[in-house]
Every structure is written in structure tokens, then in C-alpha cells.
A and B are shown apart, each in its own frame.
Chain A
Amino acid sequence: MTLALAVGAVLAIAAVAVVAAPFLREPVAADDRLLPPDAAQQLQLARAEERDRTLDALKELEFDHRTGKVSDEDYRAQVGMLRQRAAAALRDADG
């Protein structure tokens, strides 16, 4: 019983210490905000996702063409548009 109580007390103290750690480590914070990405960063994130999506689509098309899932005509009809879109996405993401 005594041992159990002692272990329980240690457990409770340890829990409080862990929970209070951010405030003990930094009693006065210079900046306590979570700082979500601003509008520019969100736009950058969206453009990076779009860039990867377009490049993926281009790679998929190339691979599907090589494996015979996309005919030559379909490939020619799609590849130009996808390349243009990829180039634009790359420009946007870099800019």
C-alpha cells in the first residue's frame, strides 16, 4: 500500500513536471504565438503541391505510354499540355 502510494505520487509529480515543462523551460516567452504560415507561405505551399502533382502526372503519362497503356495519339494529345502546365508550375513554385 505504502509502496503503491509512493509510486503513485512519483507518477503524479512526473506528470505535472512533464506538462509544466514548456513553461518551466521558458517562463517568459518573447513570442508565444503558434505562428501559422502567412498568406505568402500558404501560396508557396499550394504551388509546391501543384508543381509535384503536375510533374507526377507527366511522369505517369510517360510511364503509361512506355507500358502501352496510353496510345501514341493520346500521348501526343496530352504531353504538350502537361509539359506546359509543369513548366508554369515550376515557374510559380520558384517565383
Chain B
Amino acid sequence: MPDLGRAALVTAFLLLVYASVAGTFAAWHSRRRLAQSAQNALIAAFGATAVAAAVLLAALARHDLSFTYVAQHTSRELPLGYTLTAFWGGQEGSLLLWLLVLGGYSVAAVLTARRVGREVLAWVVPVLGLVGTFFALLLVFVASPFATQPAPADGAGLNPSLQNPYMAVHPPMLYLGYVGLTVPFAFAMGALLARRTDERWIVATRRWTLAAWAFLGVGQLLGAHWAYVEIGWGGYYAWDPVENAALMPWLAATAYLHSVMIQEKRGMLKVWNVLLVTLAFCLSIFGTFLTRSGIIQSIHSFTQSSIGPWFLGFICFITAASLALIFLRLPLLRAKTRLESLVSREATFLYNNLLLVALALTILWGVVYPLLSEAVTGEASTVSKPYYNFFLHSFGLPLLLLMGIGPLIAWRRASLRALGRTFLWPTAAAVVAGIALLAAGAGSSRVGVIAYTFSVFVLASIVLEFARGTSARKALGGVGWGGAFASLIARNRRRYGGYVVHAAVVLFAIGVAGSSAYQTVREARLHPGDSMTVARNRLVFRGFESSTQPNHRAIRANLWRYRPGKNQYFAEDQVSNEVSIRHDLLTGADLFLIADQVNSDGSVDLKALQKPLVNLIWFAGFIFVGGSLIALWPDAREERRLAERYEGATMRA
């Protein structure tokens, strides 16, 4: 079986090399059949990668310890579910997942890109092929998941922190996001290489970009929840480099999703948009590099490896080549229109873009500074939480406010009178909320009060947008309130789906502000019979309980309804923190208990955190998915319009 896996990977590699080389030749010399052949090679490479993935999955399911990868990441006692998720628990499997997802995206995007024009598609194929070639090369020559060894009696097991149900969905979601950003990048580069800087590449990648962005967002949220329930330190985001690695491309993609609307509506920001697409893609590769190279110390970095230089070389090549191409095509990317006013919808999008990119770049600096510092001075240094929090507050709070301001301002320009009318109610709601919060004693955190006040402003502006839009639609006649509301959303899914996503971001911000700025923490050493009180909850320690599971021994502190403790994993020879959480769905707060230390004298060092509104963060995830689905949902009216627009130019191509 490992031979089949290796053969499938070599086949995929050769096919991708062919797609890159033959595809480039075909696009350069305008050869139709060769371009089709290169496209077929891309499709066949996906098939070959799927065979390789099936071989690895089968080896995992059969506990075939003659596969080095299986022996290193599973054990015979590991439950089947976690055994299968070990597919992406290690470096080689993760790289295979990258290639598999890239293949799936490539096939789907290329086969559905009806309107992009064959001359652009002919260049898209080699760009996708080139990215695929890089990952296939790593899998064939550097980090093969099909290396074999004499089968040991048992495997090394899976890192205990990965033995969590979230690991079944969190990494695949992240990868769907990371890898999905390759599609808009490939189409943007394809359009530039073909010298076609019209909007066809944007239309062809609209949904792919949105889907990748949504997957990346959901993946991060799932990762945050995994960290919250599994890692056992009481938080969900620690500005860890690997966490930042997923946040940076998401921020760049968020900026792009906004700025691309300016290009579509006003024909502006063409250079900025291709730069953002390139930045998002390069950051996604950089994120994979951070996670997989072992260059940084991170709880998420499960491996030390030799693939770092390969990734670094690839990132440098892609960045340099993309920037050179954009520079060469600058004359084609000039906008014909200009910004009419600094007080307009497009201007707020521009401000939002600057803040998002500034936030992404400051986070990037925080991630790379320790690496550069160590390379230059030889001494390890770290960038800690205050650095990130400072920039989060400096850029994040204005961004939050802009989410409320943008929808209230008209395109092109807005007069003071119109601004006064549209801003009145959201501003009034925010002022009342701010005063009420101060009166309720929330002033202990200035950032918290500002975040809440801005959040109320944004929510009020979103509600107002839906209300005014529905009212305007109803005024046209023929429908009731329900019909007008449905028609409003159906006629502009991207805008109103976007507003729902904004509402999700606001709920997220409220949850983050509440659980970080207003949390209560108590720590105590408790002997059996001792008690402690946190946020009006009295906790009585009754002693320890222990049990033995197939692959670990569990020890739990008995605190009546709560059972925080530790798991001792046999095969892995590691101990994990197992927290106990009580959710209060009415207030959105959690009581979070950590058994920091299990002492030999029968006592426990208990840490208790009361985290107000933390559940809003997870609830926001569902709203985020709902908003993304609204925005992604096919729009028959828009499809007809695009078909009419591109009929003439693409039928012949």
C-alpha cells in the first residue's frame, strides 16, 4: 500500500509539473489543445492526490504501524475518530491535506469559470499548477507520508491536546480557508498575465473568495473554542504566532472583500485589489510555513522539520514574481474615476482597508520580529500581549465604529444634513448605552465601555438599515412587510449578508470585551472540605476521583457539579489539563475551573474564572455562518445580468 501512495503522489507531482510547464507554454503561444491538456492534468492531479489521501486514511484506519507517519501519530488504543483525524495531526498528513484541498478548489474553480475567458483561464491553470507543484514536491522529496519502517509494537500516539472533537473540524476548516485564497490569487495573476484587467476575474472568484474567507473565519473560531475547552488556561486567543498566522490572511481577505466592491461599483482600486489578493495568499502560505516549519515556539506547532527553507524560498519567489507582474501591468490597472468625497461609502471602505491592512501588518511584525531579532543578535526575544492589545485597540476600535458608519453613508458623497438624519438614532442609542454602562459601573475598563458603546452604535445602524430598506421596498407596493424584507435581502444578498456578518462581528466584540475586560479570577489551594467563592458561586472541594480509560488515566477534583482535573496519557507519556465549565445561557457567562496542580497531600491548586458574555463569541459564529451563507447564496437575477454582460466577449474565446 505505501507503494501505491508513493506512486499516486509521484503521478500527482508529474501532472502538476506538466500543468505548470505545458500550461505556461500553451498560454504564451496561444495553443488551445495544449491549454486544455494542461487543464486536464490539473484535474487528473486531484484524482491522483485523492488516491494518495485514501491510502493514508486506510493505513490510519488499519493501524498500519509500518507507515512511519501512522506510528508517529497514533497508537493502538487511540479511538478510531482521533486515529482518522491524525491525518492532519502531523506535518506530512497536513501537507497532503493542503494538496488535496488545493486540487479540489482548482478543479471546481477552473470548471465553473465559464465567463473568465479562455485566454485568462489558460494562465490560471499554470499558476494553480505551480502552487500545487510546490506542495507535491515537498510530499514526494522532503516530507513523504508514505515512509515505511519495521512495524513497532505500538505507536507514539497523538498529542493529547489534539484528542478533542474540535480537531475533526478545526484544521480542515482552516485549510479550506488558507488554500481557498489560492483561487483569487491564481485568477488575479492569470488576468494580469493575459493582460485582461476587466472584472471577469473578480466575477469568477467572487464566491470562492467569500467561501475561503468564511471557512478561515469559522476555522479560527473553532480553534479558539478548542483552545478554550482543551488547553486549559482560561482563554481562547493568546496572540500565539500560529493563531496570528490564520488571522493575518483573514484580515487581508476582509479588506479585499470590501475594496473589491469599490472596483465593481466605481472601477477604482484595481492595483490595491490585486495587491490585497497577493498579500492574502502570501500570508496564507506564510501561515502554513509558521505552523509546519517548527521555526517558532507555539502550542500549535507540533513539529520540528526541515521544510522551513523550502517554504521561505517559495514565499520569496511568489511575492517577488507577483509584485514584478503587478508592476509590469500598472499601466493597465489605472483607474478612470477618482474618489469624489472623503465622506462617502467608498471612502469609509478605504479607511476600513487601511485599518485592516495596518492591523495585519503590525501583527506580522509581531510574529517576525522575534525571528529577525534572533537571526541578527542571536538572542531569543518575544513580542507579548501588550504589543498586540495596543494595536488591537488602536485599529480594532475604529474598525468597529466604521462598521456602523459605512452603511449609513451614501455612495459618492453625503451632505451634512443627510448625515445628521441617518446618524441620529444610532448615535442616540450609543450615547444612552454608554451612559447606562458608566452608571452600572462598567467604567473600570475604558476600552470595554468604548467597545460596548461602539457595538451599540453598529447594531443600531444595522437594524436601521434593514428597517429603512424594508420600508423603502414596501413603499414600492405589492408586498407586505415580510415580503418587502425578503425581497430586500434577495435583491442584494451580498450587502445584507454582509450586514449580518457585521452583526456577528459586533457580538464577537461584545463577547471578547466582556470576557477579557470584566472577568473575575480567583486562585486558592483547597484541601478536602475547603471552599472558595467566585462571582457568588461557592465551590466546595470534596477530594479526588480517578478512573482508567483505554488510552489514559483520568483524575478529577470533585467540586460537586464541577470536575476539573488532569489526564495521564499512556502511549504519549503526557499529561493534559481537563477544565470544567458551566455555561449560563441566560447571561452568556461561564464559570471556568482549572485544576492547576494536583498535590500529593490530597489538595488541589484551583483556578476559577468567571467570564461574562463569553458565550456570545461562540453564538456569533452561527450568525457569521448565516450571514456568509446569505452572501454566498446564488442570485438568479445577478446571474442573468452577468450572462448578458459577458455573452459577447466570452462566447468566442
Top 3 A-B pairs, shortest CB-CB distance: A8-B7, A36-B119, A4-B4
- Among A8, A31, A68, the residue within 8 A (CB) of B468 is A68
Residues on A with beta carbons closer than 8 Å to the beta carbon of B414: 69-70, 74
- B195: nearest residue on chain A (CB-CB)? A36
With CB as the reference atom, state the residue of chain A lying closest to B1. Answer: A4
Whether the Cβ atoms of B648 and A18 lie closer than 8 Å is no
Of the residues A4, A8, A11, A48, contact of B646 by C-beta under 8 Å? A48
Q: Is B283 an interface residue (CB 8 A)?
A: no
Q: Is residue B246 within 8 Å, beta carbon to beta carbon, of the partner chain?
A: no
Given contacts A19-B18, A36-B117, contact A70 B33 (CB under 8 A): no
B31 nearest in chain A by CB position: A32
- Docked pose: A64 CA to B412 CA in angstroms: 11
Collect the chain A residues with CB atoms within 8 Å of residue B641's CB: 52
Known interface pairs A67-B472, A69-B422; A41-B649 also in contact (CB < 8 Å): yes
14 A–B pairs (Cβ distance < 8 Å), ordered by A:
A8-B11, A15-B11, A29-B33, A32-B32, A34-B653, A37-B650, A42-B198, A61-B411, A61-B412, A67-B468, A68-B422, A68-B468, A69-B414, A71-B417
Closest to A26 in B: B33
Contact of A37 among B48, B117, B644 (CB under 8 A): B117
- Size range of the interface on A? 35 or more
Q: How far is the CA of A29 from the CA of B51 in the complex (A)?
A: 34
Interface residue? B561 (CB, 8 A)? no
- Residue of chain B at shortest CB distance from A82: B412
Q: Which B residues are within 8 Å of any A CB, using their own CB?
A: 1, 3-4, 7-8, 11, 15, 18, 26-27, 30-37, 40-41, 43-44, 47-48, 51, 117-119, 122, 194, 196, 198-200, 264-267, 408-415, 417-418, 421-422, 465, 468-469, 471-472, 475, 641, 644-646, 648-650, 652-653
Q: Tell me the bound Cα distance from A14 to B319 in angstroms.
A: 35
B33 touches A68 (CB 8 A): no
Whole-angstrom distance from the CB of A15 to the nearest CB of chain B? 5
Pairwise interchain contact B415-A74, C-beta atoms closer than 8 A:
yes
- Pick the contact of B4: A7, A32, A44 (CB < 8 A): A7
- Distance in angstroms from B414 CB to nearest chain A CB is 7
Instruction: Pick from A11, A31, A57: contact of B265, CB below 8 A.
Output: A57
* Smallest Cβ-Cβ distance to A34: which chain B residue: B30
A8 CB to nearest chain B CB (Å) = 4
Known: A19-B44, A71-B418. 19 other contacts (CB 8 A): A4-B4, A8-B3, A11-B11, A19-B15, A22-B34, A31-B32, A34-B30, A36-B653, A37-B652, A37-B653, A48-B649, A60-B411, A61-B411, A66-B475, A68-B468, A70-B414, A73-B415, A73-B417, A74-B415
The number of residue pairs between A and B whose CB atoms lie closer than 8 Å in the complex comes to: 167
Contact yes or no, B415 A71, CB < 8 A: yes
Q: Are A14 and B33 interface neighbours, CB within 8 A?
A: no
Contact yes or no, A74 B410, CB < 8 A: yes
Which A residues lie within 8 Å of B417 (CB)? 71, 73
Q: How far is the CA of A52 from the CA of B198 in the complex (A)?
A: 13
User: Inside 8 A of B645's CB, which chain A residues have their CB?
Assistant: 45, 48-49, 52
A53 engages B118 (CB within 8 Å) = no
Known A-B contacts A37-B649, A69-B418; A19 and B40 likewise in contact (beta carbons under 8 Å): yes
User: Do A36 and B648 touch (CB < 8 A)?
Assistant: no
Residues of chain A contacted by B1 (CB below 8 angstroms): 4
